Structures are given as structure tokens and as C-alpha cells.
Structure 1
């Protein structure tokens, strides 16, 4: 860490606006937090890294949405955010060049990938998309996970940069990511609001809010194959009698009543609610 303190310090002196990102390939939040800059630890050293990859959150994301594991592991991991100097700067991701792609997980599916992408674009942190995940590319461990994106050269058999060059499923995933980036841009709480868990004790459903001074956004996940009707309190969000609309067009519009929100979400889907 002293080496990295000196290295990041030297870089910043030459390039004050240079942003550096650290990679600690470890699922332990205590280890990862130890290397995010912004605080001196027991050794009196601040690493100087502006931020680090959020490997600890990536693992339960994959397990939940690729393999259908327990969604409760997501809020459990987020509960460790107190360890980080600035959890909102953590770079969240589904995969990168050092591991097999999400779609090469044994039980991965397009619906699971889109759920994971929805979580990535709505939870706290700075989301990173690894090239090819926007069309659901597969890829085993290195170097198969680094294969070329299809298209861009005359010799390529197809051009996935274009709609007609993508398959039906690839276009579905691509348009989903495009819609998510638009929603994230439009809804300020998704970029900087406080994360508040609303329903975190169900095995295959999860709901949280992103809350800012201007507004609140409620995100609801149903990881089960069948539709689920869930109810949870939202009285802390000051939304009594508020009319909410789903920006994902998955669930029907609804009204908050008696400080509670009751919603039916289709199987393997997610809804993003905001006030009309």
C-alpha cells in the first residue's frame, strides 16, 4: 500500500485530474475496502486510489441472476458499505477480461442477464459494462472471454453494431441496456441517491429505493420464474397516496396506500417505479 500511495501521488502531481481505478481480485469487502483511497487505515496509509472494482458485489450478483441463488445475499453484501471510504464510487460490474462471461455461467439466460443489468444500473456505485455484454456474448475463461466483438471490419461475417446484424435475442438485450441507460440518465436518484432497502428478507424478491432530495425511485426484482405479488412499507419515503409509474413497463401503475406498496411483478423481471 505504501508503493501505491507513492505511485498514485506521483501520478496526481503530474496529472491532477487523472482518475485511477484499482483492481483487487477478491470477494472479501474488508480486503477491497482496504485499498480504496480516501482514508488512512491502521498502517497510516491512504492508498490514493480514487476507487476500486466492486468484486465483492459482483459474485452475489452472478450467483443470484445467473444461477437463481438467494437474492438476500445482495443486501447482505451491501450492508458492508460502511467499510468503504466512499461506496458510491465503487465500480460495479458483471464481468471483465479476467473471468468467464456472465452468459457462460452454467445456468445463465438472457432474462437473468437483463435482471443483472437492471440491478447494475440501479444500485449504488458507478456501473461498468464489459464490451459484448450489451448483446449477451458468451466466453469462457481467458482468452475466450476476449474474443472480438462481431462486426466493424469488412471481413466479418456479420455486424452486431447494427440492428439487422444482431439476432432477435441480442437485440432484446441491447435495447434493454439502451433503455436502462436512458432511465439512469433521466432519474437523478439512480445516479447519486441513498440506497434504502424496502424488502430484503425474501428469497427471490428484492426491493430498494434510491432516495435524493428531489425524488425517490423504487426498484423491485422478481427472480422467480412465476409472477409474484409483494407488499412492503414505503412510509419513510413520504409517498402516501402517490401515483407511481413503472419506467420498465413491466408492472401496472399503482398508488401508495396506508404507507404500503403492493405490486405484482412478472417472473424474472424488474420494475423501476417513480412518481408520475
Structure 2
């Protein structure tokens, strides 16, 4: 009979020893791997190594997969509150093999203790009461779309998972019901930069050359299976920053256009010197005066911090720090949610 059990260990062999006689257990190896890969700039080859060991399980489709919960740091706390990283992690969770588990709060972009540090299991930050529950927020709608996709495409529920592509920045796999030929393909980027890959279609696929595939996560986007490659069939896929695409043949069950990102961008123009970094503190979640959010070095003297959480038009104040310890001189900088703010501080 179906079970839900916790084997709190990231070792695949250890978890498999239980899953081979229990219907389902929490897939902690998936959790640690997917979280650590997609919340940071880590190689996507780690996902390849994870799924390559699925043969050790009696049925990997019965594993209960997750990306965060009430006992571990929330995904957004680990990823610097990057919603786009969360979207790609959720796309993996809802389209890869296994039974996806979404803990309350993830759909409301809960960021737990905000700083990403692991805290004791008996904590209040990762299991706090929700102050509100929006059914129109960007992450809620993203999960709603992914669950509808899973409900409408048997391949995303029970299909055999087979790798199509792996490298440092891009991972792709197919889910196929071999008895019917129903198939879906997921392609995910873990890069800040645009990525394009020509990916071979699996030899097991019965989809012919000339088939049009539609991206279910943005139904205005299509690709066509072309001849060529090691299997004689291939697709060329372009991905934006930390983007996920899920392709299916034929007309999609419904149209979908992802919501535009409400980005607040802070560009700090300052050369901090080799080995140093910039972080941002402020007074509007996810910013805090008690700990900095890391900015990303995008040019020799430019550090960028982007966030979607600050509401459009909301006034906030902030300051940059070097190595999250040396404050910029003078008063606070300020801006409004949804703006691009360029500052030229002195330290």
C-alpha cells in the first residue's frame, strides 16, 4: 500500500535499501542534489549522476521528491531569494520521476530564515504561520501550471525517465510511456547567460522528424524535430537565465504565458579589488539590516543584485557593504520596487 516515510540520508544506497521494500520514501538524495545544484552556480552534471543511479531503486517513480520543507532551509533562503532559480527547481520537481511533495509556504515564496543557514529541526523560521495566502502570486501560478501539466500528460506522471543532455549549464531528459509512445521533454538551464543546445532525441522516441513540440511553460514557443545527430533526430533549444522548458508534441492542453518578472535591480559601481565582494543590506524583505544579500559581479567594477519580492512601487532603503562587513560611507541609498538603481558609493 502507498506509504510516506522519511529516511533522512543523502546516500542513495542507504535510501534504496528501504525503498526496495517500502512503497515510497522521501527522496533525500534528490533533495540535497537538486537544492545544492539549482540554488547555486553548480554543475548540472550532478543531476546526471543522481539519476544515473535510479536503477538501484525498485521503482524510482514512487520516491517522494522535494526541494525544501519545514525541517530544512527553504529553497529561496539558499538561492538568495532568486525566484527564477525556484521556478527551474519546481519545474524539475514536477516533471522528473517521483511523487512531488510541496510543503506549505513554497507556493507563497516563503524564504524561512532568509539567510540560507541550516538551523535546528525544531525551529520556527521554516514552519511559521503564513500571514496571507495569495492565489494570484507568481510562484503560486507557476506551481498551478506545473501541476496542471502533470495532470494532463501521463508521461509526466508515469513515464520512464531517460537523459537527453548534460553539461555544466544545461540538463535535459525525456519522460516516455513506452507502451503508448506518449512523451514529454524537460530542458533546464542553471546559467545566468542565454544558452542554446542542439539535443539528440532519444532512440526510444517514436516522434518523427518534422514534429512540432510546444513549450508548456510558454506556449508561444515551439521547436521542430530536425534530422541529424547521433540518433538521427534532434532539437535546438534556446534558454534564458535559469529557465526551464517542457516540450510536448501536438497542441497543448491549454495556453500559458508566464507572468513578467517584477525585477528590482541594484547596480553597485565600485572596484572592490581581487578576492572581495559586495553585499546589500536594507529595510525591505528579503533585505535586512542584520545580514547582507550577495551581489553578483557582472563587470570589473559593477556588482548587481536583483530581486522580485519587493512590490512594484514600494519605497525602500539600502546600503552596500564590502565582504558584508565594511559599510559604504554616508547615508542610506533608496529606491522603489521595480526600478533599476545605479549607485556609485565610497567606502
TM value normalised by structure 1: 0.80
Inter-partner Cα distance in structure 2 for 1:86 and 1:252:
33
Contact 1:207 / 1:218 at 8 angstroms: preserved in 2?
yes
Q: Does 1:75 align with 2:48?
A: yes
Q: Does 1:205 align with 2:170?
A: yes
More helix by share: 1
Match of 1:127 in 2: 100
Match of 1:147 in 2: 128
Match of 2:82 in 1: 109
Please report how far the alpha carbon of residue 97 of structure 1 lies from its aligned counterpart in structure 2 after TM superposition. 2.0
Q: Secondary structure at the match of 1:149?
A: coil
Inter-partner Cα distance in structure 2 for 1:196 and 1:254:
20
Inter-partner Cα distance in structure 2 for 1:100 and 1:23:
17
Contact 2:79 / 2:85 at 8 angstroms: preserved in 1?
no
Q: Does 1:96 align with 2:69?
A: yes
- Mapping of 1:215-226 within 5 angstroms? 215-226=182-193
Match of 1:24 in 2: 7
Moved over 3 A (4+): none
Please report how far the alpha carbon of residue 106 of structure 1 lies from its aligned counterpart in structure 2 after TM superposition. 5.3
Query: 1:122-158 CA distances to partner (integer Å, 9 max, x unpaired)?
Result: 00000000100012101133231110122xxxxxxxx
Match of 2:234 in 1: 260
Q: Secondary structure at the match of 2:226?
A: coil
Match of 1:275 in 2: 249
Contact 1:251 / 1:264 at 8 angstroms: preserved in 2?
no
User: Which structure has the larger Rg?
Assistant: 2
RMSD value, Cα: 1.6
Please report how far the alpha carbon of residue 37 of structure 1 lies from its aligned counterpart in structure 2 after TM superposition. 4.2
Q: Does 1:230 align with 2:207?
A: no
Contact 1:251 / 1:271 at 8 angstroms: preserved in 2?
no
Unaligned runs of 5+ in 1: 1-16, 39-48, 151-158, 164-170
Number of paired residues?
233
Inter-partner Cα distance in structure 1 for 2:135 and 2:162:
39
Contact 2:61 / 2:97 at 8 angstroms: preserved in 1?
yes
Deviates more, 1:235-244 or 1:49-58: 235-244
Q: Secondary structure at the match of 1:107?
A: coil
